[in-house]
């Protein structure tokens, strides 16, 4: 019998779940963290990503600690922030937000930060790190921006775009982790979980259990 603890993913993001499943990690529970995500006054993008990930992990850790069936589980949380300089772009929900994001990203570089946090059971320990990827967009025409906004793909996405979708054809340069831009850097996530005692390759040894 494996000593690997159960895993809770503190997110309702289908993209993060799919990325974990891509490397054979299938969380035992999905418990989205409901927290306030507004940046603090003067808060830098990297610090924001770190704080939100840690806050999500701690929030769900409290829920797990109050449930005997979840108490020994690890809690994995993440938050992705897109920034141009020190300016944090929103998770676009309105057409006007998407248009503003695309105008700002057009023809220039930006940075994507994902904060990762793993809250361990019992000890109150939260292990965390931030991963940065640099991305540059082509110069977008008015028609390209209008067509992308019409697609609706941007809705709910940090920075108003999804690199794994239609917006992939806007990217002319990327330095760093591609899955980080999607929402979860896989190497760093696997390393953080392994350091917390989670056997990240346990399903590899039983191919029938690897998520499809």
Walk me through the domains of the chain, giving residue ranges and CATH numbers: 7-209 (3.90.950.10)
pLDDT tens digits, one per residue of 138-196:
999 999 999 999 999 999 999 999 999 999 999 999 999 999 999 999 999 999 999 99
Q: Which residues are catalytic?
A: 79
pLDDT tens digits, one per residue of 16-56:
999 999 999 999 999 999 899 999 999 999 999 999 999 99
> Looking at the predicted structure, is the pLDDT value of residue 1 above 60?
no
Buried b (16+ CB within 10 A) or exposed e, 6-27: bbbbbbebebbbebbeebbbeb
Q: What is the pTM of this model?
A: 0.94
pLDDT tens digits, one per residue of 69-84:
999 999 999 999 999 9
Strand duo 126-137 + 109-119: pairing: antiparallel
Count the residues in the chain.
212
């Amino acid at each position: 019998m494996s000593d690997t603890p159960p895993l809770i993913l503190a997110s309702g993001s289908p993209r993060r779940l799919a990325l974990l499943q891509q490397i054979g990690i299938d969380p035992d529970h999905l418990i989205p963290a409901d927290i306030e995500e507004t940046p603090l006054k003067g808060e830098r993008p990297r610090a924001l990503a770190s704080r939100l990930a840690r806050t999500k992990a701690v929030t769900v850790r409290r829920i797990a600690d109050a449930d005997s069936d979840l108490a020994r589980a690890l809690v994995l949380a993440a938050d992705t922030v897109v920034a141009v300089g020190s300016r944090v772009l929103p998770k676009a929900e309105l057409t006007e937000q998407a248009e503003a994001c695309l105008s700002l990203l057009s023809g220039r570089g930006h940075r994507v930060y994902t904060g990762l946090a793993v809250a361990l059971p019992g000890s109150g320990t939260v292990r965390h790190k931030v991963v940065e990827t640099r991305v540059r967009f082509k110069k977008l025409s008015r028609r390209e921006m209008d067509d992308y906004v019409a697609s609706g793909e941007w809705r709910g996405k940090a920075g108003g775009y999804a690199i794994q979708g239609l917006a992939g054809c806007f990217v002319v340069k990327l330095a760093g982790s591609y899955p980080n831009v999607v929402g979860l850097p896989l190497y760093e996530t696997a390393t953080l979980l392994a350091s917390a005692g989670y056997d990240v390759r346990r399903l590899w040894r039983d191919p029938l259990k690897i998520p499809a």
